[in-house]
């Protein structure tokens, strides 16, 4: 295969990849747009019930995590809340 032909193929692949990435980004943004995250956040905030999830703050595990993260310990800086869909994670304060 000639060097010129190989360069043309590489250039064509680059163009195709760039167009595909642009199309994908546009498609993803169009898909996300109807979600309106600010409105969803406000709706969830308005529907929260007082003291839901307070028990989490009273557990020994949370206390330990909180105490270690106060000192700026990067190992414990993130608290991950997991559970099955629909169990109420979104509504915990």
DSSP string of 35-78, one letter each residue:
G-HHHHHHHHHHHPPTTTTHHHHTSHHHHHHHHHHHTT-GGG--
pLDDT at 35: 73
* Same structural domain, 93 and 52: yes
Specify the pTM.
0.42
Instruction: Indicate whether 64 pLDDT > 80.
Output: yes
Residue 69 token pair: 């993260």
Instruction: Count up the domains in the chain and report the number.
Output: 2
41 or 10, which is more confident: 41
* Same structural domain, 62 and 83: yes
Pair 22, 61: CB distance under 8 Å: no
Task: Give mean pLDDT, residues 43-56.
Answer: 86
pLDDT at 28: 77
* Same structural domain, 52 and 88: yes
Domain residues for the domain of 7 are 1-35
Q: Is residue 41 part of a domain?
A: no
* Same structural domain, 29 and 52: no
HSE value, Cβ hemisphere, 13 Å, CA-based, for 47: 9
The C-alpha angle with vertex 61 and arms to 48 and 93, in degrees rounded to 5, equals 10
């Amino acid at each position: 295969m000639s060097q010129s032909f190989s360069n043309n193929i590489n250039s064509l692949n680059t163009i195709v990849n760039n167009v595909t990435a642009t199309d994908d980004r546009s498609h993803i943004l169009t898909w996300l747009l109807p979600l309106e995250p600010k409105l969803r956040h406000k709706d969830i905030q308005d529907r929260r019930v007082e003291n839901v999830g307070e028990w989490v703050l009273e557990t020994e595990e949370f206390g330990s995590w909180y105490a270690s993260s106060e000192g700026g310990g990067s190992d414990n800086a993130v608290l991950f809340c997991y559970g099955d869909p629909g169990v109420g994670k979104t509504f915990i304060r």
